[in-house]
Chains A and B, each alone.
Chain A
Amino acid sequence: MAEAWIRGKAVALDAAIAEVVNLLSASRLPVIAGLGTDVAGVRAAIKLAQRVGGVIDHMHSEVLLRDLDVMREAGMMVTTPNEVRLRADFLLLVGPGLIEAWPALPDRLFAKRRIVWLCPGAAAKSANAYRNIAVVGDDPFDLPVMLAALRARCAGSPVANAPVALAAIDALVAELKKARFGVAVWSAAQYDSLTVEMLCGLVKDLNEGTRFSGLPLAAADNAPAVQQVTGWMTGFPLRTGFGRGLPEHDPWRFEASRLIDSGEADCVLWISAYGARLPTWKRDPPLVAITANPDTLRADVTIAVGRPGVDHNAVEHLAATATLTTVSAGKPSTAVSVASALGKITAALPESQPC
């Protein structure tokens, strides 16, 4: 099976690497996008970005940044899935998309505790399948107001225009306050950061009397691990650029799709080892796809890589523990890893001048 292509034509890996080096050498602002990869892959991507003065971004940065914005503007209280399993007597499920974000959620956390599902929307069917789950509210569109109403009633303030009867709000507030160790579960993929902030504010307020915490569900494509590695290696989260020789973080300036659409980026390295498809952009700069899913060969250079934890051992974020863990290859193969491909590219770059 071919593992590399230049403009649709199968080539040896070395030839593809050489072509990537040509593209990067001609580039003034390369962007490393996608970044769906394991810890070794991110480390290699950051080293490459440092060498070429590029930008790093993840395909799910938008979602990561919703939680991160709340954390770095106000802070939050969170706990771990293990601790919820061990200790929580009350779960507040917030909005739709939770089981989609973590399919093992019901198996891991639904047993043995009282659960209220707030504005589940399409997830109402899932909620109704469990006898210990009560539903409050319906349309996810109501969530921001619902959370605001809960927070206001929690503080003893009057509310108007709540999406459900005030008695239902007050009954839920009483339950929240009565919980000994309650946990609110949310997925930032579903709503904006102001909604997350309202929820986190409610959790903080509840801790004036009892214990309550939050469980943010992780974005896909190993996004939490990528954010951690970027954090320790650069001091910043994703959307960080090295163009001036030092890492600079700016969620707007270093957004990959904006850089590509605006024409600022003049070379794109798309990395996707977990199967996410190559997106399309408004412009068409030289494109390198390092992907486990080479179903389209429209990139200038395509390098097929193995899947972390399937073709090769990998360190990844584990949803069940919210920690990094080692995943052994399920079906070991000789497919090249992202880290190996990027390492070869970095090694083949011409020596740069000291800056």
Chain B
Amino acid sequence: MLTRLAGGRVIDPANGRDAVGDIFIRDGRIIDEPAGSAADETYNVSKKIVMAGAIDVHSHIAGNNETMGRLLLPEQRYPSDVFHPGHYPQPRGAWNTSETGCIYAAMGFTTVVEPAVLPHQALQAHLELADIPIIDKATLTVLGNDDFLLNLLHRGEGADAIRDYVAWTLATSRGLGIKVINAGGAAAFKDNLRMFSLDDEVPAYGISSRAIVKALQKAVQELQLPHPLHVHCNNLGIAGNVETALATIAAAEGLPLHLAHLQFYGYGKEGPRGFSSGGARLAEAVNAAKSVTVDVGQVMFGQTITISCDVLRQFNARNGARPKKWMICDGDSNGVGIVPYHYRVNDFFNAVQWAVGLELFLLTNDPWRVFFTTDHPNGAPFTAYPDILALLMDRNLRAEWMSRLPQEAIAVTTLASIRREYTLTDVAIMTRAAPAKLLGLKDRGHLGAGALADVAVYEPDSDKAKMFREAALVFKGGQLIVRDGSLLHYPFGRALNAHPARERAIERRMRDYYEERYGLSPDFMTVADAAIGRPDPFETIPCLN
């Protein structure tokens, strides 16, 4: 069947296209205009904006940790009223897998990365992802606090062993890439350290955080994984931590490195409260470090819950919990800390955090290297995305928000002086073209021939938040899923993963290690296709070259 989207403004930065024109879809893919064949169905999208489906590089949407959060804070909801017609008996706004997929789809997102899967818990993460409708997903496998890797480093074993181990773990957990979360920090916390920086050593292993990051960066590079090492730095959330982020950017040493939710590291110690924005300095460093990519982790005001494998940071944040309850799990490697939090408009610190995120968006100059996230749910639920896009696109709206925030907070940031407004092209790069490139997804994030027909069509509106909250049309793999923000169908997508080559000897070695250390076969970690409960649940993304 041939589908034609006729006469929209097609914004497709990956292919250098920004013009009124048509998009043709056949068999789930975008094709060039076919000569001589009439479309079987035509959607008139004149005066509308046509973009590829959006891609989220960092959103905690699945896994044991999120579900523990659901159990800890059952009162939490998605602030959403996506309309579900028919007899799909789902609530509006419940914090569950069905709503996650439906709300993402209604906004025009078609691929989302769950960025923190602990290898031992990978099966649950993939089961949860499989219950999220519509969108495709991928996971990042968390390493860097695991006993095996820290022992390899402690013993000074070579890069080959680390590379094989990384490849084995990635394949076992069915991940697309590797993430490191406060490298060594969770392990150090088990030895009762309460602070842990880039050059501090994990006591039991005598290995610095920097050494762990560099070893993993190298392994990811040598394995030619489609996504660079994804780093959650040390010292998240504390005054003066901009120095840690700057040191980590420098530690990239010209090689690819992705720094997650940079906003949470954008804090100086200036000003009357000893807490100020380091956003401008950080943006300058990002602009200069061309091999580094970042996502922002924007804070928005309201009730949310912070869920992080940075156990040390979460323990230190426990007394700020709103409401006052929290959970810490010292896990097999990283573990998790869950601390509910309410970002308040009248809170000095929260207002600075909000401004730092916007500074990072607006003072960085390359939308190909700066990604759009709230670190869902840590900075805000992803349902806040439309409001953030509106703030980026409209300086008057920012001024209006700033007028309602503590002025002493705005004064320790540069936000009031920033005039930049994001264009639709900037948005299309940041949420489509650039994420596809960053994740190595060649057939996504663009509308050229051969691309997957994941397409979002928006009705232009002076209220940008409204425009992006409810897409006019969303196609997933060529199937019309959303019309005017309402869901029409609930197909299930797949999880994208990578399968780098590795030496077979690692299998034997891991078997011996698990037997000796845990008295178990590592088979308990296996994520088999048949266990997922849906046909064809995975798609393999090729490694680079």
Write the nearest CB–CB distance from B266 to chain A, whole angstroms: 28
Please tell me if the beta carbons of A86 and B74 are within 8 angstroms of each other in the complex: no
Write the nearest CB–CB distance from B141 to chain A, whole angstroms: 15
In the complex, which of the residues B90, B324, B528 has the most CB atoms of chain A within 10 Å of its own CB atom? B90
Cβ-based interface call for A87 (8 A): yes
Cβ-based interface call for B41 (8 A): no
Write the nearest CB–CB distance from B132 to chain A, whole angstroms: 9
Which of B72, B76, B120, B530 touches A75 (beta carbons < 8 Å)?
B72
Given contacts A82-B518, A180-B192, A324-B127, contact A233 B96 (CB under 8 A): yes
Write the nearest CB–CB distance from A218 to chain B, whole angstroms: 14
Q: How many residues of A contact B (CB 8 A)?
A: 58
Write the nearest CB–CB distance from B524 to chain A, whole angstroms: 4
Please tell me if the beta carbons of B92 and A78 are within 8 angstroms of each other in the complex: no
Which of A72, A232, A324 touches B97 (beta carbons < 8 Å)?
A232
Closest-by-CB residue of B relative to A73 is B325
Write the nearest CB–CB distance from A292 to chain B, whole angstroms: 20
Cβ < 8 Å to B, chain A residues 234-269: 234-237, 242, 245-247, 249
Which range holds the interface residue count of chain B?
A: 35 or more
List chain A residues, Cβ under 8 A from B329: 77-80
Cβ-based interface call for A23 (8 A): no
List chain A residues, Cβ under 8 A from B531: 313, 315, 326
Given contacts A86-B518, A228-B67, contact A50 B89 (CB under 8 A): yes
Please tell me if the beta carbons of A354 and B85 are within 8 angstroms of each other in the complex: yes
Please tell me if the beta carbons of B123 and A324 are within 8 angstroms of each other in the complex: yes
Cβ-based interface call for A284 (8 A): no
A192 CA to B64 CA in the complex, in Å?
25
Write the nearest CB–CB distance from A309 to chain B, whole angstroms: 12
Give the secondary structure class of B's interface.
mixed
A221 CA to B65 CA in the complex, in Å?
22
Please tell me if the beta carbons of A321 and B127 are within 8 angstroms of each other in the complex: no
Please tell me if the beta carbons of A211 and B192 are within 8 angstroms of each other in the complex: yes
Cβ-based interface call for A283 (8 A): no
Cβ-based interface call for A213 (8 A): yes
Which of B67, B76, B89, B328 touches A245 (beta carbons < 8 Å)?
B89
Cβ < 8 Å to B, chain A residues 302-322: 313, 315, 318, 320-321
Cβ < 8 Å to A, chain B residues 187-245: 189-192
Please tell me if the beta carbons of B87 and A326 are within 8 angstroms of each other in the complex: no
In the complex, which of the residues A72, A85, A231, A313 has the most CB atoms of chain B within 10 Å of its own CB atom? A231
Please tell me if the beta carbons of A326 and B325 are within 8 angstroms of each other in the complex: no
Closest-by-CB residue of B relative to A49 is B89
List chain A residues, Cβ under 8 A from B519: 85, 108
Please tell me if the beta carbons of A247 and B91 are within 8 angstroms of each other in the complex: yes
A321 CA to B118 CA in the complex, in Å?
13
| Chain B 511-531 near chain A by CB (<8 Å), digits 1 or 0 | 000000111100011101011
Please tell me if the beta carbons of B98 and A80 are within 8 angstroms of each other in the complex: no
Closest-by-CB residue of B relative to A200 is B327
List chain B residues, Cβ under 8 A from A51: 87, 89
Please tell me if the beta carbons of A72 and B91 are within 8 angstroms of each other in the complex: no
Write the nearest CB–CB distance from B139 to chain A, whole angstroms: 15
Which of B124, B189, B335 touches A323 (beta carbons < 8 Å)?
B124
Please tell me if the beta carbons of B96 and A72 are within 8 angstroms of each other in the complex: no
Write the nearest CB–CB distance from B189 to chain A, whole angstroms: 8
| Chain A 133-163 near chain B by CB (<8 Å), digits 1 or 0 | 0000000000000000000000000000000
Please tell me if the beta carbons of B87 and A354 are within 8 angstroms of each other in the complex: yes
Cβ-based interface call for A181 (8 A): yes
Please tell me if the beta carbons of A43 and B131 are within 8 angstroms of each other in the complex: yes
Which of A83, A232, A249 touches B330 (beta carbons < 8 Å)?
A83
Cβ < 8 Å to A, chain B residues 83-106: 85-87, 89-92, 94-99
Please tell me if the beta carbons of A323 and B121 are within 8 angstroms of each other in the complex: yes
Cβ-based interface call for B22 (8 A): no
| Chain B 303-319 near chain A by CB (<8 Å), digits 1 or 0 | 00000000000010010
A323 CA to B518 CA in the complex, in Å?
14
| Chain A 214-236 near chain B by CB (<8 Å), digits 1 or 0 | 00000000000001110111111
Cβ-based interface call for B488 (8 A): no
List chain A residues, Cβ under 8 A from B326: 75
Which of B87, B92, B318, B327 touches A353 (beta carbons < 8 Å)?
B87
A234 CA to B519 CA in the complex, in Å?
35
A313 CA to B331 CA in the complex, in Å?
27
Please tell me if the beta carbons of A246 and B124 are within 8 angstroms of each other in the complex: no
Please tell me if the beta carbons of A235 and B70 are within 8 angstroms of each other in the complex: yes
Cβ-based interface call for A39 (8 A): yes
Closest-by-CB residue of B relative to A71 is B72
Which of B64, B191, B327 touches A76 (beta carbons < 8 Å)?
B327
Which of B124, B324, B533 touches A228 (beta carbons < 8 Å)?
B124
Please tell me if the beta carbons of A227 and B71 are within 8 angstroms of each other in the complex: yes
List chain A residues, Cβ under 8 A from B295: none
A-B contacts besides A85-B518, A354-B85, 15 pairs, CB < 8 Å: A43-B131, A50-B90, A75-B325, A77-B327, A77-B328, A78-B330, A79-B331, A82-B120, A181-B190, A321-B120, A324-B123, A325-B525, A325-B526, A326-B526, A353-B87
| A-B contacts, 29 listed (Cβ < 8 Å) | A39-B533, A40-B533, A43-B131, A50-B89, A72-B73, A72-B325, A73-B325, A75-B328, A78-B330, A79-B329, A79-B330, A82-B332, A211-B189, A228-B64, A231-B70, A235-B74, A235-B94, A237-B71, A247-B91, A313-B531, A315-B127, A318-B524, A320-B524, A323-B120, A324-B127, A325-B123, A326-B123, A353-B87, A354-B87
User: Contact residues of B with A, CB < 8 Å?
Assistant: 62, 64, 66-67, 70-74, 76-77, 85-87, 89-92, 94-99, 120-121, 123-124, 127-128, 131, 147, 189-192, 315, 318, 321, 324-332, 335, 338, 517-520, 524-526, 528, 530-531, 533
**CB-CB nearest 3 A-B residue pairs:** A246-B91, A235-B96, A235-B94
